[in-house]
Each structure stands twice: as C-alpha cells, then as structure tokens.
Chain A
Amino acid sequence: MSRLIRGNAVSADDWTELDDATAVPSTAKVIVSLARWRAERETLAAATAIGVRVDNSADIQTLWPELRDLPLVALEFPKSGDGRAFSQARLLREHCGYQGEIRAIGDVQRDHLQAMQRCGFDAFVPRDDQDLDDCLRALHEFDLAYQRAARDDLPLVWRLRRQA
C-alpha cells in the first residue's frame, strides 16, 4: 500500500486510485474519475466507498450537488506551476462547506504543501521522489500567516494585531 500524508502524519493510503478501465474491487475504497462516477454511479455506490477525482478545469460550485455526499474529493496538480486546484480547494471548503477529505494528487511537491494545506487540502500524495518525512516538516515551514484562507489554525497576523 502506498503512503501519504494526512493529519500531520505519514500513513498508509487506505484508498486506491483507479483509472477508468480497471475493474472495481468490491471491498476497497476507490478514487475514480468524475466521468466514471457519473457513468457507473449505481453499481459503484453499492459496492464500495467512492472518492472522485476532479479535473482542475472543473467548476466546483456547479459540480457541488454531485460531490456533496462523497467522503473524498481528489484535486489534481497536473504539473507544478498550474495553481488552479488551490482555488478549487478553497471553493470546496469555503463556498460549499465540504467536510470530507480533499486530497492533493499529481505533481505534489514538498515546497507547495503548506499552501495547499492552508487552502483546504488535508491529504497529500507527494510525487514518488519526495521524502515524506521532509514533507511533514514542510507543513510547518511558516508558523505565521498574513491572510486567513480555508484553514485558519495558523496564527494570523491581522488577528494578532487586532487582539493587541
């Protein structure tokens, strides 16, 4: 089982990412594409726990009715430098109020993790070449922030100033 970062720890990944061709194992927790979820919704839902992979060009608020009851949404960074999923995560958390897992997949690198976390991602599948322990440390590189975003457990400068 591959490993990922969730809840400030490295853990075994209990979900399996499937492409559209692979048969769905009956007992696993699987992540499928949105297209497959739409096409096979009835059969998939009966058999397993389903998470859905959403393209980074998708309009999150339009999709929301289809996503709201899912335990997991995977947002993709197809290549580093393409930051659309940062906005998607915030929309999902802040505009839609999604409570399930938002997982970062694709070109997920150590140096981008803390920003992802602040935007609402809470699980990260770093690229194969990334050192997971180092990734954990990277989640705490800054212990202060100017702006609040989806997740506001970091001390926020404007709040500290207002309290002073």
Chain B
Amino acid sequence: MYRYDEYDQKLVDERVAQFRDQTRRFLAGQLGEDEFRALRLRNGLYIQRFAPMLRIAIPYGLLSAAQMRMLAHIARKYDKGYGHFTTRQNIQFNWPKLPEVPDLLADLATVQMHAIQTSGNCIRNITADHLAGVANDELVDPRPYCELTRQWSSFHPEFNWLPRKFKFAFSASLNDRAATRVHDIGVHLVKNDAGELGYTIYVGGGLGRMPMLGHKIREFLPEVDLFSYLEAILRIYNLQGRRDNIHRARIKVLVKALGPEKFIELVEAEWAQIKDSYLKLLPQDIERMKGRFDVPAYVDETAADDGSYTAKLAADSKFAAWAKRNLRAHVRPGYAAVFVSLKANGVAPGDVTDAQMDALADLAEQYSFSELRATHDQNLVLADVARKDMYALWQRLSELGLATPNIGLLTDLICCPGLDFCSLANAGSIGVAQDIFDRFEDFDYQHDIGEIKLKMSGCMNGCGHHTVGHIGILGVDKSGEEWYQVTLGGSAENDAALGDRTGPSFSRADIAPAIEKIIQVYLEQRDGAEESFLHTYRRVGMGPFKARLYAKVSAETEVAA
C-alpha cells in the first residue's frame, strides 16, 4: 500500500471541505445547475438514470483491507448494500443521495480514499497492471511511478478543464495487462541500451466512437523527466484539442488530425522549454516515493508451502479446477496471486455486496498482507497468498460465491452497467451477460474453449471496451429496440488490435445464440486445443464466422426452437 503522508491527507481533507461547500451552495440555490454539474463531475458524481452515481478512485487498483471495509460500510450506509467495480479499477455506487455525498467523502478520507477527478474532462484515475510487484515478467514495480503521476495530476491547476477526459495507464512488464495502447497516454517502464530506467510513451489510444491504438511518440524518456514531458503533451492538447464537438475532442483526434510526426514535433518543442525546469524529478523524489509503499514480509519457500497445497490438489478436483484457472504465478516461490472472480452466475459482472467486501477485507488481512487489487477485467486479486493457506482461502471464497473458476474464460466477461443504470445506454448488457452465463454454465466446456475475452458495452462510449474484446458486443438502438453489433479479433494486450464487425446486428433474443455459433466455429476451426480464439480468428479470418452467423434464417429458427 502507498501510505499517505500529512500532505496527502491534508489535500484530501481540503477537497472534502471544498466539495461540502459546493454542495451546500448548490442546495441553497447559490450555485447554478450547470456550474455545479461541472464541479461535481470533477468529483466523480454523475446524475444517472435513477439516482446519482458516485465513482470512487482506486489508484492503480490497490486497496487495503481497511479501505475495503470502508467500501462495505459505504455500501450499507449510503447505498443499497453493494458496489460495482469498473473496467478502470474504480468502484461505483449507484444510489447515494446528493446531500449525503459530502459525509460519504469524509468517511472515505479517513481511509485515504477519495473521488477526485474520477469523471469530468480532466486527468482521471491512473491505472496499472493488477499484478504489479508480483508478476514474474516485470522490470520494476510501476506503482511508485503511478503514484507520482497521480499526485502530479491531482488538482493540476492548468489541466482541470481539458477538451475531454484523459486517461493514463502504466505497464512495466513484458505482457501488457493494463491495456496501455487504448489509453490517452500509455506509459511503459523500460530500460535503454545503457541500462538506464525510463519510459516509452504512447499517445492517442482510446475506445468509444473512434477506437484507436496509441502511437509511440517517444521511445525512451529518462526517468527524471516524466512530469515535464507529460506537461508538454497535456499543454499541447489543452491548447489545440478540439472543443467544438464532444465526439472529436479526445487527444486521439488531435494526434490523428495533425499526424503523429507533427504532434511529436510540437510536444518536443514544448518539452525543450521546460525539461530542465523545476519539473525535473530528483532521484531522491523517486526513492522517497518507493519507500512509502509497504513491502510484504514474505517468508521463505518452505514456510510458505508446507506441501498441503499439492496434497489438496490431488484430493479435491474442485479445488484443483479453481487453482488451475484462478491462480497466477508469483515472483516469490511458495506464493501465488489469487483471482477473486466477480463473475458468478446471477450477479452483474463486477458487483460485490457489503458482506462480501467485509469478508474480503478479513481474507486480505488473514492471507495477503492486508492488500487487494481491482483489475480492469472487473475482478479482484489477493496478490500474495502462501500456498499453505490456499485451500482454506478457497473454501472461504467458495462460501462467499467468489470462487467461480472462470478467470480468463468466456464467462469472465466484462460489461458496462448498460441500460439498467446508465442514461446513455442503447441497450442492456447485464441481461445479455446472464444469457451467456446460462448458455455456457458448464465449466468443462468453458475450459475446453480456453482463454477468451468477451467485452460488452451498452453504447458507443465503449466503457465495456468491446472494441478490444476477442469477441466484442455493442448495444445499438434500432427504432427503440435493443440490438447488438458483434466484433471479432480485438485485443488490448501486446498484440493490441481493434475488432472487426461481423455484419448486421443481432436482436436481444439472437445475441446469445450468435455468441454460441462463434464459439462453435472456433472449436471446429482451431488447430488443436492449443490454438487460441484470437490466433484462430487471425488465421482463418472472418469468412467461416460470417457464414455461420448469417446462414439462412430457417436454420436459425430451428436452432432457436
């Protein structure tokens, strides 16, 4: 965990006081609707379809047990007993009442949490690899750099009124688990040939209406120059980004309009003027930041692994199935990172109840150094679990309904709140997720299908990242009815790509069967169980999928009957 110092705490407390006063003035009629809207949005508060929605920041996905307990408290006290983890490692509550929000924020501040800049046209929560610090393909832990960037971007006086929202993601590993290429700025921590640490910078990625992959605008930026370079990028965007059309206002549109070369030229020219200014970090700034993160007190392998894990794997096939699916390798021998699936049958993806949150806080304390992480696939991770504790943890997670053995599989799909909660939605997404769950309930079948990322959004805004799903589903409105467009072949990882549309959209009744057909075609076409969906699609192309999906209607009616 990053631990606040007195200054971090003071700033968050001052923000609570400021927001309390803004809310008071609004409720007293001293602050207009539009003015307050702009201000509350900078604090994560939307007015949604049924009620306000408050989005709380979980910087780079990292949560302490105490924070998780506070989220449980908030779910109970201000909401209807649950919260919703989002694709950007945040949590949302759908039912808080506006007059109570200042108190809610004050409660959050007591555990070093806030909702600062979680919405609005400003720099949003910084996301990162959910396996940061424990992954075995990692160069350095990216989180101190994320925290530096979080602080630099918090209440930045110049960049709080940008043309549009602005999202950062950091990655420091061989496998990009943070979808950096679909963020406004993607930062990769790298080493140059001289062995010095620095950053590769990508700009202009994004989903939504004009999905685009970020351009690499700098191969190597020295470690101490992070802030000056980011200021140069943001300044060019703030001054030159379009403000006349909300759908053309993201930085990706500016990069595309200027061309990456011209954009780079502008950024470099601006940077040349500020790179040796007060914005330069000192090595001790970075060291100090690293020092504020707790280091888990790992025990050695023999203490972490008493042999019970292997014995239980052999003795209990359900446990073995879960372990195979929901554990990931850990850099320390005897430990594993445990995925807590928030994709159980009958539950909206990403939803957690207050009781589950409390229990997870206990489990984190008991088994994982009091820390949890939120992933951008809407699951949670207990990142530092010793093998000797694994069976007991699994039993408890099973009781809580949090041990669905589906991480990375078809039903580990991500989906936005859609029509059930979001005023922008064209179509429901939670109901479709449920249909898919019902259809693929059988985990053996899912295991056979293997790793596949299904992502679904209720509208073009793409909060469910459908364009980078191996299978993407997008809700569209056809004269008042809910229809669904399907894309294949997207990816947000190292092999990042945008999905291709299959063709005409599917009705609500036909969408789950369509997904099943896509899976059937994949199973028929793949070159053995080792060939992934994505690889198969890239090899065989759209043809066979299209043929099956749009085969003559009579055949379809038979299947449906």
Contact = CB atoms under 8 A, between A and B. Distances in A.
Interface stretch (A3-11, A26-34, A83-91): A83-91
Contacts of A158: 285
Contact of A109 (B35, B273, B284, B288): B35
B155 A146 contact: yes
Contact of A162 (B11, B18, B235, B285): B285
A161 B152 contact: no
B155 A111 contact: no
A95 interface: yes
A115 B238 contact: no
B116 to A, nearest CB: 11
Given A81-B121, A142-B11, A144-B14, A115 B160 contact: yes
Given A111-B35, A158-B285, A162-B285, A81 B152 contact: no
Interface string B148-160: 0001101111111
Contacts of A147: 152, 156-157, 227
A70 interface: no
Contact of A83 (B14, B162, B282): B162
Given A142-B11, A142-B18, A146-B11, A84 B157 contact: no
B14 A157 contact: no
B284 A162 contact: yes
A46 interface: no
A87 B235 contact: yes
B35 A80 contact: yes
Given A80-B38, A81-B38, A86 B158 contact: yes
A149 B282 contact: no
A86 B14 contact: no
A80 B154 CA distance: 20
B18 A141 contact: yes
Contacts of A146: 11, 151-152, 154-156
Which among A118, A119, A143, A161 has the greatest number of chain B C-beta atoms within 10 A?
A: A161
B10 A161 contact: no
A51 to B, nearest CB: 22
Interface in B436-494: none
Interface string B57-86: 000000000000000000000000000000
Contacts of B39: 111
Among B15, B243, B277, residue most surrounded by chain A Cβ atoms (within 10 Å): B243
A157 B151 contact: yes
Q: Which of B8, B11, B15, B22 has the most CB of A within 10 A?
A: B11
Nearest to B288: A161
A138 to B, nearest CB: 9
A68 interface: no
Contact of A148 (B8, B151, B159, B278): B278
A84 B239 contact: yes
B161 interface: yes
Interface string A24-49: 00000000000000000000000000
A1 interface: no
Nearest to B10: A144
Nearest to A89: B158
Interface string B269-301: 000011001110010110010000000000000
A144 B7 contact: yes
A56 to B, nearest CB: 9
A158 B65 CA distance: 28
B158 A149 contact: yes
| A95, A118, A157, A160: most-surrounded residue (chain B CB, <10 A) | A157
Interface in A112-148: 112, 114-116, 118-119, 141-148
Contacts of A162: 282, 284-285
A153 to B, nearest CB: 13
A20 interface: no
A111 B35 CA distance: 9
A87 B238 contact: yes
A90 B158 contact: yes
A128 B85 CA distance: 43
Contacts of B288: 161
B35 A157 contact: no
Contacts of B18: 141-142
Contact of A86 (B5, B22, B157): B157
A160 B160 CA distance: 24
Contacts of B155: 115, 142, 145-146
Nearest to B34: A80
Contacts of B273: 95
Interface string B213-239: 000000000000001000000010011
Interface in B103-142: 121
B161 A82 contact: yes
Contacts of A82: 161, 243
A20 to B, nearest CB: 24
Contacts of A90: 158, 235
A34 B298 CA distance: 66
6 contacts: A80-B34, A82-B161, A83-B238, A86-B161, A143-B14, A144-B11
Interface of B: 5, 7-8, 10-11, 14-15, 18, 22, 34-35, 38-39, 121, 151-152, 154-162, 227, 235, 238-239, 243, 273-274, 277-279, 282, 284-285, 288
Given A86-B159, A109-B35, 13 more contacts: A83-B158, A84-B239, A86-B158, A86-B161, A87-B158, A90-B158, A142-B155, A144-B11, A144-B14, A145-B155, A145-B157, A161-B5, A161-B285
